[in-house]
Structure 1
């Protein structure tokens, strides 16, 4: 009969099954010939498969497992689950048993890992087939079945769907790859945050984060877009549009900016021109036979400044207006014919010379 003690979980902790020795005399009545054949077959099996079995099956140590189980029970009875639960896990690794598996399931349930605990209880049912004693085996089965029934309505379930799944698609849930047959099925999962990631050759990877509560059932639908299609959609915008341009060609914005700068510079030269004219009027006057200026006043410098500033004002102002006109043309054209190919570009190039200034426009419209 199973031994129980009260735990903070409100359930009894299960005692480990007592260690038993296997009966080695079961084949004592066999015929000598059959025994020889059986011995030869056993020897061949040991030679061919012994090393592989040792590599695949973990080493068992029932004595150490029993000690770890008792140590875990003592810690959990004191409420120290952080130290006790890992010892249940270590005991299970050394000697799998249904009772140890059930105790470990209760540890996972206490941590809020409901789907993990549900899996542990189901595994305990499998391990219980090897439990010695019909009464104890039946008791452990009843406990596991009861816990499974209590957990099922509390477990969150997550269904992952890839719409129009491309060839070679791979879906990962919390870093674990799911088989294709698992897609679309509501699978049990622990409450809390989870990450879903889907990828396929030639397609953009899509990731999604989701947080599930107890009893919640959710479906995450993912759609993978081809990389080529995504790149083609983004390329025209980068090539022909300025940031925030709304489809207006980049050269139109550049031409407009240059026009504003040229007009601003021309206004500056106009102000300087008016200043030179004012200085000339205050310092010089017309007299019979020529012009008279105040002694020490440099008439020639202000007169040259006046003539230069006037030429720059006219040249730069004209170039600025032309550049702004080109910008307006580009904006109007992009709004009126967005489906047509963008113009190759028109660029206003200002020039300044000692005798004046202007702008040349090159490109195609």
Structure 2
């Protein structure tokens, strides 16, 4: 497979020694490894994709050309293709990614046929690593008094405990560091890294102050208030029905009007009926809203990865002279 390199002029000046530059580009052009083909490899397609990528990059279209190199690498991994991908990532400003690419090119170069070609490719990778070293941003994550089960992630990827406190190469730009542990408040910090500088993020978790694995206190208060309001509302519903029954028992309604038994206080039971209806409606609505807020607080409370799935159900109940609601589920 014929290999050439991306346009050197677009790289803000050669980072290679002048005496080496003229040779190294030609060497990258002949970087196809003579090794056992992996399963599902397609050297012919890889060659076509590489040439397409090379032509696009020569025209300055890195956005379209660099993915061609990635596709060619997937079909036929080689040190030459990997070196061109490293140049692409340098052009994009992904310095740590390019640094890693150069190291991977060295690994792939072990399969390259021909001692001279292998030596020249290795020189290119070594020079690329050397040029990038002083420019690499580094991020050190310092964890203070880590509790049991603590997990730290950087940009959504787990950061092993062995890496805590180490200044690791990271691409320039904004990064997110998150930490969590059972029984502690999670924490997220953001840091913007610059070329050639080392930044430190210190993480210390606070013990959680909420019961039942992080459910906020207000959710339990709202749930209790909601249950009380629904219970009182149920009582007024019962009393409202009792007033209606009393009115039906002592009064008859006809087209000429309402006639009640002598001595029966119609106004008292009628007023009680109307008052009970208003109180039941108002208190019941407030209770339902409070229960809804409680369910939301319980269901959305932060939990560790190992927590079991949550399930919450609210079941109102009414009985003669009483009422309320059950909240059930896994909290």
Q: TM-score band, normalised by the shorter chain?
A: 0.5 to 0.7
1:15 is aligned to 2:29: yes
1:158-203 CA-to-partner distances (Å, cap 9, x unmatched) read 0101110000110010000011101111100000000000001111
Name the SS of the counterpart of 1:82 in structure 2. Answer: helix
Work out the CA distance in 1 between the residues paired with 2:136 and 2:111: 28
**C-alpha deviation, 1:5, in angstroms:** 7.1
Alpha carbon RMSD of aligned pairs, Å?
A: 2.8
Structure 1 segments unaligned to the other structure (5+ residues): 23-56, 240-365
Query: Which entry has the higher C-alpha Rg, 1 or 2?
Result: 1
TM-score, scaled relative to structure 2: 0.56
**C-alpha deviation, 1:113, in angstroms:** 0.4
Report runs of 4+ in structure 1 exceeding 4 Å deviation: 1-6, 18-22, 229-232
Task: Indicate the residue corresponding to 1:128 in structure 2.
Answer: 109
Q: 1:223 to 1:3 in 2, by over 3 A?
A: closer
1:189 is aligned to 2:176: no
Task: Indicate the residue corresponding to 1:146 in structure 2.
Answer: 127
Work out the CA distance in 2 between the residues paired with 1:18 and 1:159: 38
Q: 1:98 to 1:19 in 2, by over 3 A?
A: closer
1:274-307 CA-to-partner distances (Å, cap 9, x unmatched) read xxxxxxxxxxxxxxxxxxxxxxxxxxxxxxxxxx
1:158 is aligned to 2:172: no
Name the SS of the counterpart of 1:196 in structure 2. Answer: strand
Q: 1:115 to 1:18 in 2, by over 3 A?
A: closer
Work out the CA distance in 1 between the residues paired with 2:145 and 2:41: 48
Alignment of 1:1-365 (within 5 A): 6-7=7-8, 8-9=10-11, 10=13, 12=25, 14-18=28-32, 59-228=40-209
Q: In the alignment, is the contact (CA less than 8 A) between 2:6 and 2:84 conserved in 1?
A: no
Q: In the alignment, is the contact (CA less than 8 A) between 1:58 and 1:94 conserved in 2?
A: no
**C-alpha deviation, 1:70, in angstroms:** 1.1
1:97-143 CA-to-partner distances (Å, cap 9, x unmatched) read 10100100010011110000000000000000001111111001001
Q: 1:218 to 1:184 in 2, by over 3 A?
A: same
Work out the CA distance in 2 between the residues paired with 1:155 and 1:210: 15
Structure 2 segments unaligned to the other structure (5+ residues): 15-24, 222-331
